[in-house]
Amino acid sequence: MAAKDPLVITGKDEMRKWSRQMRSQGKTIGLVPTMGYLHQGHLSLIQQAHKHCHLIVVSIYVNPGQFSPSEDLSTYPSDFHGDMLKLKSVPGGVDVVFCPKNLYDYSNGSDEKQKNENLGGGGVVSCVEEKGNGHETWVRVERLEKGLCGKSRPVFFRGVATIVTKLFHIVEPDVAVFGKKDYQQWRIIQRMVRDLDFAIEIVGSEIMRDGDGLALSSRNVHLSAEEREKALSISRSLLKAKSAAKDGQVKCRELKDSAILTITQAGGRIDYAEIVDQESLEAVEEISSPVVFCVAAWFGKVRLIDNMEINI
Ligand code: AMP
C-alpha cells in the first residue's frame, strides 16, 4: 500500500522549525531514532509510534559518537533509497525523515549549504574530536551503562545517551519509541529521561524476529548463510531458558551455562550471557521477579545481541 512521501529534512534548524510549527497547531510528534538500513523491526516501531502521536519523525543517523575506533562504523550498512521506499510503505506513513550529515558539526554552515552535501544519507562522517573546538559534552547514565554491552563497549552508551539527547532537543518530540531488542539502551534512555526531566514519553517496543527466530538486525546482512544458521542458537537457547524457568528451574547459573554451551557448540563466541533484573539490570542468582536474559555473541566478524524477558 503506497502511503505519502515523507518530507526529507537534513538541517537541525529546519527540523526544529517544522516541529515547533506542528506543535503550535496542536499536533503531537513521535520520534523513532534509527541508524538506517531499515528492516521490519524499525517499521514496527513506527507503527507503535502511530498509536501515540499524530505525526511521525524517523531519524536516520549513524552516530560516530557511539563507536570506538576498533568498531564497525565504516562498514555499517546503509541504503538511503531502499530506506525511503520502506518508509513510504509503512501503514499510516511517516511525516519526516530527518537525516543530518553530521550532528557534531557546530560550524555556521547554513542548512541550505549543508543540504547539498547531505542528501543520499550514505557515507558516514566521524568528526567527534575531543580537542580544540570539538564536541566535549557527554551524557552518562552512570550505573546502567556499565554492565552488559557497556563492559565490552565502554564508550557506546555515553554516545547513545548523548545523541538521543541531541535528537530530543532538535526534534522536540512528545513520544520516542525504542526497540526492546536493545534492552539496555531502552532502559538507559528511560532512566535518562526521568533523571533529566525530559518531557518525553519513552515507549519500548517488542523484538521483531525472522520466522526462524533470529532477531532482526541491520548487522545480519554481514552474516554468511552458515553463520546465520549458527546464530539461531541464540534465540533457541533463550527460548529454552525461558521454558526451563517456567518449568521451575530458577537458578540462573544453570540457565546461563546451558545457553552458553548451546551457543558455543554452534560456533558462537560469547561476549556475555547475563540474567538481570528488568529495571535495574543488576545480575540475579535466582529468578523470583521479572528478569531479562541478555546475550551478546560473535558469529565470525558479526556481534549479535538478543534478549528475552522472563516473567514468572
Ligand atoms: P538501530 O538502527 O539498530 O540503531 O535501531 C534503531 C531502533 O530500532 C532501536 O530502538 C532498536 O532497538 C530498534 N530495533 C532494531 N532491531 C529491532 C528488532 N528486531 N525489533 C524491534 N526493534 C528493533
49-82, pLDDT tens digit by residue?
Answer: 999 999 999 999 999 999 988 887 888 999 999 9
Whole-angstrom CA distances from 219 to 37, 198, 312 are: 9, 31, 32
* CA–CA separation, 53 and 47 (whole Å): 10
CATH 3.40.50.620 domain extents, the chain: 7-205
Mean pLDDT across 3-32: 96
* CA–CA separation, 18 and 14 (whole Å): 6
* CA–CA separation, 130 and 153 (whole Å): 18
Measuring from each residue's beta carbon to the nearest atom of ligand 1, which residues come in under 6 Å?
34-35, 41-42, 44-45, 178-179, 181-182, 205, 207-208, 215-218
The alpha carbon of 257 and the centre of ligand 1 are apart by a number of angstroms equal to 27
- Given a cut of 80, whether residue 44 has pLDDT beyond it is yes
The arrangement of secondary structure in 223-303, i.e. its CATH architecture, is 2-Layer Sandwich (3.30)
Residue owning the nearest CA to atom 18 of ligand 1: 41
The alpha carbon of 30 and the centre of ligand 1 are apart by a number of angstroms equal to 16
- Residues contacting residue 188 through CB under 8 Å, at least 6 positions apart: 141, 144, 145, 157, 160, 161
Pocket test for ligand 1, best of 67, 181, 184, 186 (most atoms within 8 A of CB): 181
Give residue 70's pLDDT: 81
Active site residue: 39, 42, 50, 81, which one? 42
- Report which of 255, 293, 289 is spatially closest to residue 272, judged by C-alpha positions: 293
What does the pLDDT look like over 79-120, one tens digit per residue? 999 999 999 999 999 999 999 999 999 987 555 555 545 444
CATH 3.30.1300.10 domain extents, the chain: 223-303
> Can you tell me whether residue 114 is helix, strand or coil?
helix
225: pLDDT confidence band, cut at 50, 70 and 90?
Answer: very high
Give residue 127's pLDDT: 63
End-to-end CA distance of the chain, in Å? Answer: 40
Pocket test for ligand 1, best of 32, 37, 42 (most atoms within 8 A of CB): 42
- Given a cut of 50, whether residue 256 has pLDDT beyond it is yes
123: pLDDT confidence band, cut at 50, 70 and 90?
Answer: very low
- Given a cut of 80, whether residue 194 has pLDDT beyond it is yes
Mean pLDDT across 250-268: 98
The alpha carbon of 237 and the centre of ligand 1 are apart by a number of angstroms equal to 21
- Given a cut of 60, whether residue 307 has pLDDT beyond it is yes
* CA–CA separation, 224 and 117 (whole Å): 34
Give residue 80's pLDDT: 97
**What pTM was estimated for this model as a whole?**
0.94
Q: State which ligand 1 atom lies nearest to the alpha carbon of 38.
A: 2
Cell numbers for 212, please give them: 526462524
Q: Does the active-site annotation cover 42?
A: yes
Give residue 121's pLDDT: 41
CATH number corresponding to 7-205:
3.40.50.620
Which phi and psi angles does 129 have, rounded to 5°? -110, 125
Give residue 110's pLDDT: 53
110 or 29, which is more confident: 29
Which phi and psi angles does 212 have, rounded to 5°? -90, 0
The alpha carbon of 40 and the centre of ligand 1 are apart by a number of angstroms equal to 9
